[in-house]
C-alpha cells in the first residue's frame, strides 16, 4: 500500500485532508471576491496540497496590507467630512478631495 507522508493514499485521512483544503480554498475565494481580487486564482493556488499552505500565508499577508490601506482611507474620509462640517474647506475643495481619495482605492 502506497502512502503519502504516512497517510494512506485512499484512506479516510486523505479524504479529510482534501476536505480541509477545499473548505479553506473556498473561504479564501469568497474573501478575495469581496476584496475585488481574483478569487478563482487564489482558490486554485490554495487548494494545491502543501504548496497551498504557502500561498495561503502569502494571501493572508497581502490581505492584511489591503485592510490597513482601506482603514486609512476610511479615517481620511471621516477627517474630510469633519473639516467640511466645521467650514474649514469649501464645497469645491471637499468634492475634489473626495474624488482624489476614490481614485486611490
Would you tell me how many other CB atoms lie within 10 Å of the CB of residue 46? 25
pLDDT score of 1 = 47
Cell of 1: 500500500
Summarised one tens digit per residue, pLDDT across range 24-47 is: 889 889 988 888 888 888 888 888
pLDDT digits (tens, 9 = 90+) for 10-25: 567 777 878 888 888 8
At 68, phi and psi to the nearest 5?
-65, -40
Give the pLDDT confidence of 35-89 residue by residue, as tens digits. Answer: 888 888 888 888 876 788 888 888 888 877 776 777 788 888 899 899 989 989 8
**Domain layout of the chain by residue ranges:** 11-104
Instruction: Reply yes or no on whether the pLDDT at 8 is more than 60.
Output: no
DSSP structural state of residue 23: H
DSSP string for 36-94: TS-HHHHHHHHHSTTHHHHHHHHHHHHHHHHHHHHHHHHHHHHHHHHHHHHTSS-HHHH
**Which among 55, 58, 62, 57 has a CA at the least distance from the CA of 35?**
62
Amino acid at each position: 500500500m502506497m502512502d503519502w507522508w504516512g497517510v494512506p493514499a485512499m484512506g479516510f485521512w486523505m479524504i479529510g485532508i482534501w476536505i480541509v483544503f477545499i473548505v479553506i480554498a473556498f473561504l479564501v475565494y469568497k474573501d478575495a471576491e469581496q476584496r475585488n481580487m481574483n478569487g478563482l486564482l487564489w482558490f486554485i493556488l490554495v487548494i494545491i496540497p502543501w504548496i497551498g499552505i504557502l500561498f495561503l500565508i502569502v494571501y493572508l499577508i497581502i490581505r492584511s496590507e489591503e485592510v490597513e490601506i482601506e482603514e486609512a482611507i476610511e479615517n481620511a474620509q471621516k477627517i474630510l467630512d469633519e473639516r467640511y462640517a466645521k467650514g474649514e474647506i469649501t464645497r469645491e475643495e471637499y468634492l475634489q478631495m473626495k474624488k482624489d481619495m476614490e481614485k486611490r482605492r
